[in-house]
Amino acid sequence: MTDLQVRPSETEPIGPEEDGDTATRRWATAYPELGTEPISTDRFISEEFFERERKEVFAKSWVNVGSNHDFPSAAAFFVRDIKVLGVSLLVVRTDDGKVQAYHNVCSHRGNKLIWEQNGPCPKVFACRFHGWGYQATDGALASIPDEEQFYFSDKSTLDLVPVRTDTWNGFIFVNLDDDGTVDLHEHLGPLGEKLADFPFEKLTMEYRYDVPEKANWKVALDAQNEIYHVPMLAPVHRFLSGGAFHTNDDGYTRVHTFDRLGLHSVYTSESDDDFQDTDSGVANAATHPAFGVLQLPLETPFAFHVVFPNMVLAFFNNSMFTYNIWPEAVDQTTWEIRLHYPKPTNLAERVLVEQAKSRFRDLLCEDQAGHEALQVGLTSQARDIFVLGEQEVQIRAFHHNLDNYMDGVRR
């Protein structure tokens, strides 16, 4: 953190006003521990900082690696490679519904065990190199071709190596820290409680994009983690600021609510009644108004949760979008985007879901170019600080939580 005299010393904090639209210092007042200072840009370009994130955050935290939508059948598996940790994980769901991740590594000579992305669960996972087979139920080494040729003192040490695994509402998390003592429930804390009863089962994953980008993972996350940019950035953004996101009399968006939830946080936005959709938007929706009725128990049409360390879980009208922002190098990231909608039951609903997706996808495409441009600017080191305003409070909270986690704070 850079220590600069940025706080005007004569200005008294003003509390939230009735409608919250014109209140200044609303979030600085509500969360004084977050401060109002600029943050250092070093954290986006430093190899040392990236190494610390690898060792102190990703190797020691619960990380979301998928959801029940990744299983093609009731008993099934998928493979998740986590580049920042240098691991490949075989995530298995057995007939009883239990989910367990293992290192996707054969105990014989270290071959990557399963090369497919996903599939129905076999009885035995067989290595393609020499055919060693592992029971799907528990990862135990079940069969070795030409077994008498080997010298074993204790074959039970050759079972697949399990990884701490747990699930919450269909989302699958792993923790690579075998010595860690915080369970998933504790890690999710108030966020887990807030969304404990959310009807996630109403939504299916309809689209997934894995977008490579030359930017630090936190640049991508920060860029998405505010709605300040919505009236300014680009055409679809500006279009949505015409009411899909509420704007005040000056045309600026406003965070409606913001809550710190342990390691996580959430902000929401209202919408305005005067939003005028495009001709096709209006015409398409008019053919099937029932599909547009909100089916999710949301108080506002937009809610954006950051799930520490690298996940976003957000709702926008009848959809849920999640981001898993995967660091690969200090300036290389894969932005994994998942779009969930109520499952279309007929072809007209298929069209309406496609419309929601196309518009949102174009919105993200507008955002994505900015991520790489941001990284160029940060790398230039023209500036060594990054200033954040009231409407960017969730960005501030994220960096605060990140620093805390590196200091050993776990909730």
Partner 1 sequence: MSTTTPAPPTTVALPAGFEWLGRYAKWALDGERARIEARLTTPIEESRLFYASVLAEVPAIMAHLLGCPVDDVSEADENLLRIMLSYVEVSNAVEIYEQAEVPDGADLRLFVSVLEGTR
- The residues of the shown chain that bind partner 1, judged by CB under 8 A, are 72, 205-213, 234-236, 239, 278-281, 283-284, 286-288, 344-351, 354-355, 358-359, 361-362, 364-366, 368-369, 372
Instruction: Give the nearest distance from C-beta 213 to partner 1 in angstroms.
Output: 8
Residue 53 in 3-state DSSP? Answer: helix
Residue 12 vs 293, nearer CB to partner 1 = 293
- Considering beta carbons, is residue 54 or 214 the nearer one to partner 1? 214
* DSSP H or E stretch at residue 341: strand 332-342
Which parts of 141-254 fold into alpha helices (H)? 184-194, 217-224, 235-240
Cβ nearer to partner 1, comparing 119 with 189: 119
CB of 290 to partner 1, least distance (A): 10
Distance CA 97, CA 195 (A): 21
Q: CA-CA distances (angstroms) from residue 190 to 169, 187, 193?
A: 14, 9, 5
CA 257 – CA 88 distance, rounded (Å): 39
- CB nearer partner 1, residue 131 or residue 170: 170
Q: Give the whole-angstrom CA distance, residue 142 versus residue 149.
A: 16
Q: Smallest distance from the beta carbon of 227 to partner 1, in angstroms? A: 18
Residue 277 CB, nearest approach to partner 1 (Å): 10
Q: Of 157 and 358, which has the nearer Cβ to partner 1?
A: 358
Residue 200 or 341: the one with the smaller Cβ distance to partner 1 is 341
Entry field: residues in the chain: 411
Closest approach of partner 1 to the CB of residue 272, in Å: 18
- Separation CA 267–CA 287 (nearest Å): 33
Shortest distance (Å) from residue 366 CB to partner 1: 5
Backbone φ and ψ of 323, nearest 5°? -120, 135
Residue 394 buriedness (CB in 10 A; 0-12 / 13-18 / 19+): buried
Checking phi first, is residue 203 left (phi over 0); if not, alpha (psi -120 to 50) or beta? beta
Q: How far is the CB of 115 from partner 1 (least distance, A)?
A: 16
Q: Which is nearer to partner 1, 97 or 212 (CB)?
A: 212
